[in-house]
Amino acid sequence: MQQISVTDLKSRLDDARQTPPVVLDVREGWERELCALPGSVHIPMGQIMARIAELDRTADLVVMCHHGGRSMQVAMYLERQGFGAVSNLAGGIDAWARQVDVSMATY
C-alpha cells in the first residue's frame, strides 16, 4: 500500500491533465460535519465491508481519515479485496488543514 502526502494529493487534484483520484473519507459523520474535502466519497470505516460494492475496483483511490491510522487499515483491507490502486493519505485531514488549506477547521 502506498502513502501519498497532502501536497501530492493537492497537486493531483489540481492537475486538469489527469483523472483525479477518488478520495474515500472513512471518518464518522460527525467528523465530516466539522471539515471535509469537497467531492470526497464518504463511507465510515465501520461500513466499508457492507458497502464495498459502491467502490470502483479500477479507480485510483486515496483513503483518508483524521490522522491516517483508520484509513491505513481500510486501504490495506481494500488491497486484500483486489483493489489495485489504493493509497493512504499520510496525516489525514489534519495534515491537509495544516499544510494545504489553513482555513479548514481542525479538531
Output the average pLDDT for the chain: 97
Record the cell numbers describing residue 60, joined without a space.
485510483
Catalytic residue, candidates 61, 65, 72, 86: 65
Write down the domain spans for the chain.
2-99
9 neighbors 89 (Cβ within 8 angstroms):
yes
Residue positions counted in the chain: 107
Q: Which fold has domain 2-99?
A: Oxidized Rhodanese; domain 1 (3.40.250)
Q: Indicate left, alpha or beta for 92 from its phi (over 0: left) and psi (-120 to 50: alpha).
A: left
Burial 47-81 (b: 16+ CB within 10 A, else e): ebeeeeeebeeebbbbbbbbebebbbbbbebbeee
The model's pLDDT over 70-92, given as tens digits with 9 standing for 90+, comes to 999 999 999 999 999 999 999 99
pTM comes to 0.96
65 noted as active-site residue: yes
Q: What is the pLDDT of residue 1?
A: 81
Per-residue pLDDT for the chain (107 aa), expressed as one digit of tens each?
Answer: 899 999 999 999 999 999 999 999 999 999 999 999 999 999 999 999 999 999 999 999 999 999 999 999 999 999 999 999 999 999 999 999 999 999 999 99
